[in-house]
Chain A
């Protein structure tokens, strides 16, 4: 082993967690059914502690498990991804202490959750396109089993099937794109590498005829990772997978797994010579289509989980828009916006799906078991105030209402757009984000309206039990985080801004900053 061994600690903890949770689940459950959830929370807390320890060291940290090649590089971006992923994992594992969504399969549920989060952290730490792909697959494979986790329901299996087919095809396209880049950059030569920095240098020196395969690689990588990122028109798995997966898993998918696919895509795209390959422009086009179509589709939903699922699509659009502006025009504030929105998304989407999960959990033994349409949930705020407050704060934050977490990410992206020297283009770009945010109020506000409407007298909602404290705890934590990040954005910027500096440095070495050829 070479380098600081602490670098492997966050991943190592989760890898141990995968095996440990599988082996000790049964004895733990026999002693106390909530113990697997508590142990999972402890593992995530330890991972967070190691990540925090890493963040206090001088970055980047190179680490080799065996031999001399650099295999993991802990950068500020890696720390950001690890913190976001671990917080999402922690939130969901606290939720599972009292919920029963893993019942009948917790010896599989927790290992898969650990693997999902480890995959995301690996994406952040990977310094090589192939390592990044392997960790991307680790995350994806875990979700292939988690989406149809409730295997007794035909809808869950159908959603899992659709998710698996689409994402497996996407993964194959991504590895094909990576192979094309590898080959073009001298894959058969001695010393050929897929390391980000070196690959970037090799590609930067290429001229017209020999760079054509790089364009093909760009296309395959964008489409390949774009499927998991839910780019429109590759998004069709999202409503089924998010709505049929257990709520905790929906929270992980929307909160961190899908944004992690965007990060994977961005890390791959950053190796392209940005002064000849229009990466930023391509991202902006995809982003505008994704946010607009996603919002229009969400407007038509009446099922609360499908509504939240569809509403996840425009948020990927906002994030991509920020990255697009950052890559195209070189404005680091747009990168700030994209990464801040990813961090806020952990609590906004995570909190929203967990709140819905708590409502559905409390309704599971009533006539409304499994019912998720908005009208049937009218008046739920009177019986489950914590869940209703969390859901309300989450959707307001998602809409970008100040002073909540979702406001700042969007503001930074808009400010990035407004900096474009051509005032007309800048105003148009800013208006696209602002307009889409207003559009989203069209489906978020009715959701709140239904929750606070008077419940039917003598109806099921009136008699439903309040959520137990342990179920309310993760909701309260998510709400607190959304408010804190809104009032004190500096808390988030403390890990976001160093990550942005790394991204600017990475993209800057490709020679695009200040060039603005388009």
Chain B
């Protein structure tokens, strides 16, 4: 029996998954996909599969988002510039959301909110905190690493790349008989021998 919360989370999955496909703005698309994954995690949990929910939340909403951010930051510098300009807001929202969710789950598991006995939130909290607390700690570090890594693949360095790729000067090209055709800096510095 799917409850109202179940329909709401299922609706969230469909709407945000569709938005992830439709939106042309890469950053918004990634964030939509993340929200779709979080909604799916909620749906799993409501269907009585807390472990699947935890895996979905950690892998899809955490790891996959980081991978997409990396990929986009390697290809589209404008996204990262925008990320950079909103860094404080993003980090603040992320930190507040993380603290809120973690705090709620922690309290629900340990019963201070009094919901552990009556609701399934206790199961999710238990799955997350007693079963996977090391994973949560590692994923927190991983997301931090992902964000600072994405920031690195941008800005000054990528601007230089957009203007004129800086490659090695190849003095050996001068001594190579056939090197005259390939002297521009755009050329591959290494021959793919294999």
Residues of B near A67 (CB, < 8 A) are 126, 129-131, 133
Which B residue's beta carbon lies closest to that of A144?
B70
A122 touches B167 (CB 8 A): no
Which one, B130, B139, B152, B158, contacts A69 given CB within 8 A? B130
B153 touches A141 (CB 8 A): no
Interface residues contributed by chain B, number (CB under 8 Å): 55
B149 touches A144 (CB 8 A): yes
With an 8 A cutoff between CB atoms, is B104 at the interface?
Answer: no
Which size bracket describes the interface of A in this complex? 35 or more
Assembled-state Cα–Cα distance A302/B168 (Å): 16
B51 touches A192 (CB 8 A): yes
Q: Which of A153-161, A314-322, A399-407 forms contacts with chain B?
A: A153-161
B145 touches A164 (CB 8 A): no
B134 touches A151 (CB 8 A): no
With an 8 A cutoff between CB atoms, is A301 at the interface?
Answer: yes
B167 touches A153 (CB 8 A): yes
A22 touches B148 (CB 8 A): yes
With an 8 A cutoff between CB atoms, is A239 at the interface?
Answer: yes
Which B residue's beta carbon lies closest to that of A367?
B171
Which one, B131, B138, B190, contacts A122 given CB within 8 A? B138
B131 touches A138 (CB 8 A): no
Which B residue's beta carbon lies closest to that of A167?
B67
Q: For window 104-134 of chain A, which residues contact chain B by CB distance below 8 Å?
A: 104-105, 107-108, 111-112, 115, 118, 122, 130-131, 134
Chain A proximity of B134: nearest CB distance (Å): 4
With an 8 A cutoff between CB atoms, is B35 at the interface?
Answer: no
A141 touches B63 (CB 8 A): yes
With an 8 A cutoff between CB atoms, is A19 at the interface?
Answer: yes
Which one, A65, A66, A164, contacts B71 given CB within 8 A? A164
**Chain A at the B interface: SS class:** helix
A66 touches B148 (CB 8 A): no
Q: For window 157-190 of chain B, which residues contact chain A by CB distance below 8 Å?
A: 157-158, 160-161, 165-172, 186, 188-190
Known contacts A137-B63, A151-B158, A370-B189; is-contact A105 B152 (Cβ 8 Å): yes
Chain B 8-30, CB-CB to A under 8 Å as 1, else 0, gives 00000000000000000000000
Residues of B near A138 (CB, < 8 A) are 138, 141-142, 145
Chain A proximity of B140: nearest CB distance (Å): 9
Assembled-state Cα–Cα distance A145/B142 (Å): 12
A69 touches B160 (CB 8 A): no
Known contacts A22-B148, A69-B130; is-contact A145 B169 (Cβ 8 Å): no
With an 8 A cutoff between CB atoms, is A362 at the interface?
Answer: no
A145 touches B168 (CB 8 A): no
Known contacts A138-B141, A164-B67, A164-B70; is-contact A71 B149 (Cβ 8 Å): no
Residues of A near B170 (CB, < 8 A) are 370-371
Known contacts A130-B135, A164-B71; is-contact A175 B59 (Cβ 8 Å): yes
A68 touches B130 (CB 8 A): yes
Q: For window 305-323 of chain A, which residues contact chain B by CB distance below 8 Å?
A: 306, 310
With an 8 A cutoff between CB atoms, is A411 at the interface?
Answer: no
With an 8 A cutoff between CB atoms, is A421 at the interface?
Answer: no
A376 touches B132 (CB 8 A): no
Assembled-state Cα–Cα distance A146/B166 (Å): 18
Assembled-state Cα–Cα distance A13/B57 (Å): 26
Which A residue's beta carbon lies closest to that of B70?
A144
A65 touches B137 (CB 8 A): yes
Assembled-state Cα–Cα distance A65/B49 (Å): 23
A371 touches B133 (CB 8 A): no
Chain A proximity of B62: nearest CB distance (Å): 9
Known contacts A130-B55, A373-B172; is-contact A108 B151 (Cβ 8 Å): yes
With an 8 A cutoff between CB atoms, is B113 at the interface?
Answer: no
Q: For window 280-306 of chain A, which residues contact chain B by CB distance below 8 Å?
A: 297, 300-303, 306
Point out residues on B near A: beta carbons under 8 Å: 49, 51-52, 55, 58-59, 63, 66-67, 70-71, 74-75, 126, 129-135, 137-139, 141-142, 144-146, 148-154, 156-158, 160-161, 165-172, 186, 188-190, 193-194
15 chain-A/chain-B pairs, Cβ below 8 angstroms: A66-B130, A66-B133, A67-B133, A108-B148, A131-B138, A134-B142, A135-B138, A149-B152, A157-B74, A188-B49, A300-B194, A369-B169, A370-B167, A370-B189, A371-B168
